[in-house]
Structure 1
Amino acid sequence: MPSPASGIAFVRLPDVPLDDLVAHMTDPRVAAHMPLLKPGWDRQHAARFVEAKEACWRRDGLGHWAILCDGAYVGWGGFQKEGDDWDFGLVLKPDRFGLGMRIARQALAFARGDGRIPYVTFLLPPSRKRLGALARLGARFLGEVEYDGVGFLKYRLETA
């Protein structure tokens, strides 16, 4: 796991109270940019989500983390195997959106040090209009793709 830098720490999702995940994922400002997010997040749904993400860790040896800043939960994200791609996702609490680049840089440094990850992909909903950060990271636009019947913008960043 990435080591803490500037107060950012990556921990496993089971280390975060389910109520923190429920509050995060039921915030309408989060849902606005998550077209696959289904309503009805409660503790049971959060527990299934954590178990699904932990299954990725067991299957692939890598997955999503809970992200802490100075010990407080600020969101979740990480790498998930999608076919041949390692997709990077980051879902922050609205009051912590400003940490996105700092967290992404730390996570991508981890990817660059992991021989399994020659590149990462990013799937963003078309509602995301501010995409300059991806360009600053060096990601290139691949095109539009459909995932579970929803359109996304797909980018790729070489890490090797």
Structure 2
Amino acid sequence: MTGAVPALRFARLTGVPLVDLVAHMSDPRLREHMPLLTCAWGEAEAQAFVAAKEACWARDGLGHWAFLADGRYVGWGGFQKEGDEWDFGLVLRPQDFGLGQRITRAALDFARADPRIPFVTFLLPPSRRNLGALHRIGAQSAGRQDHSGATFLKFRLDTPSTDPMPKGENP
């Protein structure tokens, strides 16, 4: 017997207790695949992170969300403007990795409904060997890209717009 499928909701990171973000980003399993996660996380780092992500919302009208399953924080991610491209990131708590496909599908549906996003990029560390999920959704390799002193594998997925959807927290 399987459990009920949790209800997903995308919310702003400002609604997540800092202690939850600190615990999440302090998990040593994340460092393995996050080359930019180089220092210990405390409340100050969590506050700076949330402020930086909110600045993206103010500048671009879109940014990273907190992902909630049945109201419980399971991770963060979303779209961040990198030059002329919208990069999609997803950082889940290890115990919630199983929600990645559902969250990604909902976020990409959002991107397809937003005329500002003709395509999405994904930057993954070279330590990520299992890339089947990206290939299954149609993402194509776009080479490598250096970002903030680290090298990433870059993928691109075209997201032709459909009817625009109202902007807000929940896709």
Q: State how many pairs are aligned.
A: 156
Residue 65 of structure 1 corresponds to 65
In structure 2, C-alpha distance between the alignment counterparts of 1:40 and 1:124, rounded to whole Å: 21
What is the TM-score with the length of structure 1 in the denominator? 0.95
Residue 118 of structure 2 corresponds to 118
Residue 34 of structure 2 corresponds to 34
Can you give the 5+ residue segments of structure 2 that lack an aligned partner in the other structure?
Answer: 161-171
Task: Trace 1:70-149 onto structure 2 (pairs within 5 A).
Answer: 70-149=70-149
What is the TM-score with the length of structure 2 in the denominator? 0.89
User: Could you tell me which amino acid in structure 2 is paired with residue 139 of structure 1?
Assistant: A
Over residues 90-115 of structure 1, what are the superposed CA-to-partner deviations in whole Å (9 max), with x where a residue is unaligned? 00000011111111000000000001
Over residues 45-84 of structure 1, what are the superposed CA-to-partner deviations in whole Å (9 max), with x where a residue is unaligned? 1001000000000000000000001110000000000001
In structure 2, C-alpha distance between the alignment counterparts of 1:142 and 1:45, rounded to whole Å: 32
In structure 1, C-alpha distance between the alignment counterparts of 2:159 and 2:115, rounded to whole Å: 9
Residue 165 of structure 2 corresponds to none
Structure number, greater radius of gyration: 2
In structure 2, C-alpha distance between the alignment counterparts of 1:104 and 1:19, rounded to whole Å: 25
In structure 2, C-alpha distance between the alignment counterparts of 1:26 and 1:149, rounded to whole Å: 21
Q: CA deviation at 1:38?
A: 2.4
Identical aligned residues as a percent: 65
Q: CA deviation at 1:6?
A: 5.3
Residue 164 of structure 2 corresponds to none
SS in 2 for 1:37: coil
Residue 151 of structure 1 corresponds to 151
User: Could you tell me which amino acid in structure 1 is paired with residue 12 of structure 2?
Assistant: R
